[in-house]
Every structure is written in C-alpha cells, then in structure tokens.
Structure 1
C-alpha cells in the first residue's frame, strides 16, 4: 500500500503529464501490451493509478487490506490480491481480443489504459465477504455483487466487467480459504495425533477449536481431518489441506489463464490448466495419508467421529487439553 502511494505521489508531482501518461500506458494490462508479451504489466499495473488520487482516498483500501491480513495472514492476502488482479486482467484481455477480432469493439480499445488497484481490491472484498461468519455473509455477498452489477446495467465499460470478474474470483478465493484453511502450511517437524468423539458433529466442532488454536499460534498444525463412517461403512472426510479435483481445477485454471496469456490464448490456457491440475490433485495425497485416516476411522465404532491432526509436538499438550474439554478422547497411535 505504501509503495502504491509513493509511486503515485512521484507520478503526480515529480514528472510531467506527458511522461505520466506514457508510464500509465506502458504498465496497462491492455490488449496491445499483452499481445506484445509485456507480461510484467500483470503485476506493475496494480501499483499505478490512472487518476490523481489523494492519500485520504486510499484509507478505505488500507482498511480493507488490513482486515484481510489480520484474518488470513499476509501471504494469503498477497496471493488473493495479485493473482486475482492478474487473472481478471487476463480474462478481460481474452474477451477484448475476441471482441476486436470479431469487430464487436473498435480498435481503440486495444490501447486503453487499465491500471490501478481496483481488480485486486474487489477480489479481496469478495473473498472477505465469503470468509466472514454466516450472518455477515448474508448481507455482504449480495452487496458485493450489487456494487459491480449496477455499473454494468448503466452501460459499463470493460473495466466494470473486470470488476465483476474480480469479485467472482474473490468469491472463489474465499470459498477455498474456508475449505482449506491449512493450505500451504509446512512444519519442519510434525506428529500425527488422533482423537475420538461421540459423533461427527463433535469432531467437526473440535476441528474448529483446533484451527482457532492454530490461528492464535497456541498450536501449530500442518493438516487436520475430521472423519466418520456411516452404517454402510462409507468414510466421510473433511480435509483442510489436501486438494480435491475441484480445488485443483480452480488453482490450475487461475494459473493456466495467466500462462496462456504468454502465447495469446488465455481462455484455452484456463481450460488446459483446470483439467491438468484437477487430474494431478485427484492423484496427489498431501498432508495426512488417506489410507491412515481410513484405518483410524474403521478402528472406531460406527458413528463415532475422529479428528486427526499433523501437529507440532510442542503444541500437543495444549491441543489435548482443549479437545478433551470438547469431548475428545486421545486415540493410541
């Protein structure tokens, strides 16, 4: 955020208007730049503003990013902000490319300036709306959609389409954060521990307790799985790190559209990346071994729930105390 302010103070006060326009165009994610493989603009465009914006106008963005950092951590904030900015820019580029080729749009749009933090901030806002508690989501998700749909109904521009795409990407990112809160966690040393509960409802509530301890750094987790078996001997699992085929398709599609932009086929890259990563995720087993989870659950009476953790041994006493109070019983290794 500080970098954005500094860059734009320099552009507003230290260079001429002509030089400023040249810098803006050189860092725009427009059709001309991306057709000529100026891929760096997918990153640099987020640091340049097209208009003179005062520091006070940046305060809402600063508050939004600060809240996201508190809830997710700085690494996830950067991924959501910059990856969504890049993916939204690539999708807009693909749509404009088709529009110009089929004469739906004039050729002037290929040189239009498209810079600023709006794609990234809309994505962060959409992700926040979906990761907050249910009561807040009921109001914030429709509000986030309304904010980007109304400009389109009033004859919006391609930038407004980008805002809509960014919010939708933010919803996907928020959904992923909720489903896989431990994605990307890596501990130098970890130990598998398991706890048995009266039913799967207790096990899932205990999973929330373990994740809160991890979030407050009272215990460090590498993976966490809540599971149970039903009367038909089927295993039901909720994982927090391992990717399903759907997770792989989402991640692969995002990177595929960015890499596809290198060769001018962002939409084809989206499809190839989604299919390839979905297949890889289906076969790759990260975190707790699926076979070990199944063995642990089958060793318990039918209907009981299990919570399995890969945790730092130093935090095991804290986890055991908290999960015992939640109705859990340690399961011998």
Structure 2
C-alpha cells in the first residue's frame, strides 16, 4: 500500500471527459451504437419521450395569446401586457411577479412561424438536458436578464441619458428565455459544430446593436451571454442533474471502489448513475478522485460548490433580490461575493476528509469512485461498480490512514 508524504485535495474543473458525461452524451452514444438508419430513428424517437415541458409551455403561451386576441379588447390587452411587463415602473413598485408572468404574455399576436421554432428549440434542449435544467435555464435567465436590463435602464434614466417614457415600455415575451436556451445549446451540443455555433450566436445578437439598438436588443445579448454561462456550467458539472437524493443520510453511507486509472473510474461512475433509472437507488453525491505522480489528489464532485459556482449562483440571486430594493447591480456584487465565500468554506455532500482518507489508503495512480447513498442502495451500487472492474474499498481500510513521514520526522526533531 503506497504512503504519501504530502496530500493536497484539488477540486478540479472537469477537463477532457467521456462523451457520456456531457449533456446529450447518452443520446450521442446511443446513436453511435445503433446500426442503420432505422435503428438510429428508433433511438431518436425513444429519446423524444423526454419532451414534456417544451410543448406544455408553448401551448400555454398560445392559449393565453388566443384569449387576449379574441376574448378581450385591444385596450384591455394593452393593459394586461403592461401589467405583466418587466419595465422600470413595475419593478420599481416591487411587482416582482412580472419576472415569472412576462414569458407567458406576448405584446402582439403569435404567429405559427414564431411558435414552431420556439417549440423545436426548447424540445432539443429538453432532450439533451432534461426538463428540470431547461426550466432553470429558461426562467432563471429570463428573470436575471430582465433585472439587468432594469438596472441599466434605471441608471440611464437617473443619469439623464434616457427619457422617462422608456420606464413604461412593454417588455414581455419569450425572447430572453429562448435566447438563453440557444446560447446554452451552442455550448453544450455534443458535436463539433458548437465551435461554429458560439460565434454565430454572438453575431446574431450583436448585429442588431450596430443599427438602431433598443433595450430589448441589449437584453438579447445579455440573455445569450447568460446562456453561455449556463452551458459552461453544465459542461463543468455534467453529472449534477442525475442525482436522486435520499431523505436521510449518515456518515457511514459511502460506497467506494478503486480502479486502475481515472478513465475506468469515470466510465464506472456513468454506469452507477444510470442504475437509478431501473432500480429504486438514490444518490446524494457522486465523485471521481485520482492521484498524480506528485501525490496530489484531484476530485471531480457533482454537488459541492466551489468559489466559481458560488459567484455565479450568488450573482444571479443577488441581482433578483436587489431588484426588490431598487439596487440590482449592488445585489449582484454582494450576492456574488457572499455566496462565493460561503461556497468555498462549506463542504457539501461527500466530505473532503472521506475523499482524502480513501485516496491515502490506495497506491498512487489509482482512480476511485465515491458514492453517497442510502443503505438500501449500497449493495446494488457496489455490485454495479464491481462488474465494471472496481475493487471495493472497505471502511476499515479508509480508517487506517497511513502516517505522514514528514510530520513524524518533525515531531521527533
């Protein structure tokens, strides 16, 4: 059993990972494994069963639009649009519900030419990400973009650069959310075309700014940039959306299996994460750890937030909460700093001590899969990891941490 002189824990950003890790990677793997166009068509149709949120949302928008177009007068429709608009007046008067209702209201009659592309865009995103991630990207990006636009307009009005009439302008519709989803898709598509889609998405929103831009065009640019961030986060933490958390956890509910290298460990983790689809297994956290020749321990964890995650999450919530008091930009900065500090200090999910002890009990170069689960799921997960070539690491072995030679030498001196 190898002994390490110095161990440091590095929570890495995922680098080159298997395609199955990435959003939509399971679809790409299934299509590659299918032989012939008929088999590939069957695989694609089976993945279409994931689509739930996209048609429901688009249908809701169409129904609301038909009601506003046929059941009420033009004057009442205009009043409803203004009442649900994320303009300066509404947000200044703390009508925060507009951040949720504005994506369901259109300021003009919806055409089939606009609804079909929206449905296709959201459906592709839902197939690749799942409905939960689509829901978060669409509505959180819409809310954050609306708050940022509100902050910019409020600053412009107070500084005398913009007229007061802009505070009453209507700002509703699906465009902020759809632009964010498009930006996230450009980053997360498991194909090489994303290297062209990202610059294309930037060009699409920058060109309108060069010729008589409006605050809505600025909002589209901000939404696409937020979509890039969301897509980047999904690529950094691709496994976080696959967890099914148990109701109660104890410290002894950790499954650990060692592998010859990190590549085998990553492949085994994918197998373990697919197991809950077929059995009632819950996971609260999952991680891959490995050591390099310099005795540094590297960890890719699915749940624990680092400073980058805290900055992004805190900034998003901060700008929304800051809108309550008319200081969205101040809320952005304070939220980003506070949550980043908390995320850096807080150890969620698998404890760093458990990961380090497990790695120190193994020879250098081994890869380890660690799963935080409930007692009922431990046997099934252990069997699944063992079948992929893993060797279970007993709790007793993890408790016998090898001594630090340097520390012993210091004590003797």
Map 1:202-221 onto structure 2 (within 5 A): 202-213=264-275, 216-217=277-278, 220-221=282-283
Residue number in structure 2 paired with 1:226: 288
Q: CA-to-partner distance for each residue in 1:74-107, whole Å, 9 max, x for gaps?
A: 2222222111111000001111111122222222
2:309 corresponds to which of 234, 247, 253: 247
Cα gap change, 1:293 to 1:150, in 2 (>3 Å): same
Consecutive unaligned residues in structure 2, runs of 5 or more: 1-56, 396-413
The answer to whether structure 1 residue 117 and structure 2 residue 161 are counterparts is: no
Secondary structure of 1:135 counterpart = coil
Deviation larger for 193-202 or 127-136: 127-136
Secondary structure of 1:281 counterpart = helix
Instruction: State the shift of 1:247 in Å.
Output: 0.4
How many angstroms apart in 2 are the aligned matches of 1:205 and 1:175?
Answer: 22
Instruction: State the shift of 1:303 in Å.
Output: 1.3
Instruction: State the shift of 1:255 in Å.
Output: 0.5
Cα gap change, 1:163 to 1:217, in 2 (>3 Å): farther
How many angstroms apart in 2 are the aligned matches of 1:260 and 1:298?
Answer: 45
Q: C-alpha root-mean-square deviation of aligned residues, in Å?
A: 2.2
1:173 corresponds to which of 227, 230, 234: 230
Cα gap change, 1:31 to 1:54, in 2 (>3 Å): same
2:185 corresponds to which of 128, 138, 145: 128
More RCO (CA 8 Å, sep 6+): 2
Secondary structure of 1:307 counterpart = strand
- TM-score normalised by structure 1 residue count: 0.91
Residue number in structure 1 paired with 2:246: 187
Q: How many pairs are equivalent?
A: 332
Q: CA-to-partner distance for each residue in 1:262-306, whole Å, 9 max, x for gaps?
A: 111000000000011111111211111111011001111011111
Instruction: State the shift of 1:30 in Å.
Output: 0.9
Secondary structure of 1:143 counterpart = helix
Consecutive unaligned residues in structure 1, runs of 5 or more: none
Q: CA-to-partner distance for each residue in 1:159-214, whole Å, 9 max, x for gaps?
A: 11111111111121222223333267422356421111112233233334434445
Secondary structure of 2:369 counterpart = strand
1:256 corresponds to which of 307, 318, 325: 318
Secondary structure of 2:192 counterpart = helix
- Contact 1:179–1:240 (Cα < 8 Å) also in 2: no
Cα gap change, 1:3 to 1:68, in 2 (>3 Å): same
Map 1:50-199 onto structure 2 (within 5 A): 50-55=107-112, 57-180=114-237, 181-182=239-240, 185-188=244-247, 191-199=253-261
- Contact 1:182–1:222 (Cα < 8 Å) also in 2: no
Larger Rg: 2
Cα gap change, 1:143 to 1:212, in 2 (>3 Å): farther
- TM-score normalised by structure 2 residue count: 0.75
